[in-house]
Structure 1
Amino acid sequence: MNSTAFVRHAAIACIAAAAVLHCTPGIAQQQPKTTPSASAAWVPTKPIEFVVMAGKGGGADKAVHFIAEAMAKEKLVPVTFDIVNKPGKSGGEAMAYLNSKKGDNHTIMFTLNSFYTTPLRQPELGVDISDFTPIGRLAEDVFLLWVNSDRKDINTIDDFVKAAQSKGSQWVMSGTGQGAEDSMLTDFLNATYDLKMTYRALKGGGAVAKELVEKKADSTVNNPSEQAKYYAEGLTKPIVVFTSKRLPAYQKIPALRETGMDFQYFMQRSVVGAPGMSKAAQAYYQQLFKKFFASAAWQGYREKNSLGGDFLTGDALRNYWMKEREKHARWKMALEIMLLKGAAGGKR
């Protein structure tokens, strides 16, 4: 094996190892206990601002609207939620906003994996995710590789690679944000399969899904909820899922591991509070979202949208963040090595 091939295989191994570093879904973890008296010490007295660090129509936005509507229907909170989308700077706008709300008990945020990647890419934000108040992880979302259903020539990952290679940099992969999860998956595919796809960043998964339907993009790596409507209408189709095994709702779609690439990637769906939120408010939200997590409404939503992962809160959730941040930092470095070597090899 020559040195270039060795570096390439080593980098792929590094990415694969990093991608599975997180807590395995389905394994229960010990949670910090909160008492009824702790939560009774504080209740919200005005509308709760629920910040979404992505645009309208995406997986995060859909989930937050579902949460707000379900909680209102079940009368779980005495006030309403004001949902605010802040997709700017790949979620950096939302993170900086929440960071500025130190001590605010009425502002919470719903996360994507840009919760890790954006501060790594934009240190000027001055955001340290360990400062945010850990409320609850409600799920881990999955990614699928999608193409327009009119692409009758693409039915497998090999078909996809062949088609993308033939189009070179003219092949467009649309995604949410720059340097975030969709962007990193595009880099992974480019580096692993010797592709030159061009990544186009949009402000939300809904806009990304629509671009594929309108054939403004050649492919996407949307979450199930983002493509659900178009998939049901037969307008788009998934090629592979970035998990270790097939999803119950997509039994005919192979996991990437089945194709020979041992790789999986998940996105957290967590609720976080502002830095310095009071202990009483934190306890209130922890109990609220733990109760909601166990509800039939949320469990039904999880099943419908192929969501996994246990409920995490408190120190367990913060520790999860730290592991995921480290994983993404290492993944970023491995991708940079692979892409650099690929570019150098192409110039020979």
Structure 2
Amino acid sequence: MSSVTINDVARHAGVSKKTVSRVINNEINVSEETRTKVMAVIHQLGFKRNPLGMALAKNRSLFIALLADNPSPGYLQKLQKGILQCCSEEHMGLFLYDCNYRSPTLVYEIEEFIDNTLADGLILVPPLSDKQELLDMLQRKRVRYIRIGPKDQDSDDCVSFNGVKAAYEMTQYLLRLHHKDIAFVLGHPDQESSHRCERGFRNAIADAGIALNEQLLVQGYYTHQSGVDAAATLLNRTPRPTAILAANDEMAVGVLYEAHRRGIKIPEELSVCGIDDISLTTKVWPNLTSMRQPINAIGYRAAFKLIKKLKGEVAASNDSGADIFDCELIVRESTSQPGR
């Protein structure tokens, strides 16, 4: 038995092929009566869309791609979930491309990936979102893209979170607990989110009228091991800090590991907290206090804006033209007043 075609649906519903296409693609310029009639015929005949045929007809692959070189698997997992949800709703597929940001042939490799997959558009995760050579290549090839967390986050091609505000509010929370010797583990120096979080931390300390001890700022790289290494440096200080804030949860969990290894009680002798609120925060002991970044929503919004671009439509945005999400403080058992 031959498969049911869009022409069959149109004939049985008494409408044009174009009208059926509009119903299938959930376009707004179809009356509710016509939409109901067409959908009833689709269910009656068991019509299923042919993705390959649609792609050929539109000269598109109907796939977008997520390009990332990110050391936090928990972050990427939540980001992908949001992107996949939007792709499912918009009948798009998703390619995942794991990059080596420091590869000397990175731009060539990505160009080859685009040519081989014919991906309709890209979502770029930091630090790829600020790599000018890559952006120039995408402009030359007229490949549409959305960037997550770039330096110029007021641009209409980006989605981001307010890292300055997140770090500021977390530091304020520690100050309200009467911590004064607060250390900060910086994120990767190549990623703008690291610099934004550092600004938030510094601003909160300054606004509290506390002289910042620069030795309490230690470089990290958004990895678990860099959190371990930073904690080893900080916990060798005399006096050691009473609280450590890490610019992401992977590093904060590394801080917890090193503190446990040294027999330091958390939170009685040391408060530890992070930013992102990935699933790992509730899989360690004590559960980690964190600023919840709406990573799922950021992924969804990035995909939504990209797909709208591909359709030649404009996604409604705020006054600045960008989408900048706030974080939410989630208090768990890893923080308390010093010497509790």
Verify same fold: TM over 0.5.
Answer: no
TM-score bucket of the superposed structures, by smaller chain: 0.3 to 0.5
Using CA pairs below 8 Å that are at least 6 residues apart, which structure has the higher relative contact order? 1
Structure with greater Cα Rg: 2
Q: TM-score, normalised by structure 2?
A: 0.41
Q: TM-score, normalised by structure 1?
A: 0.40
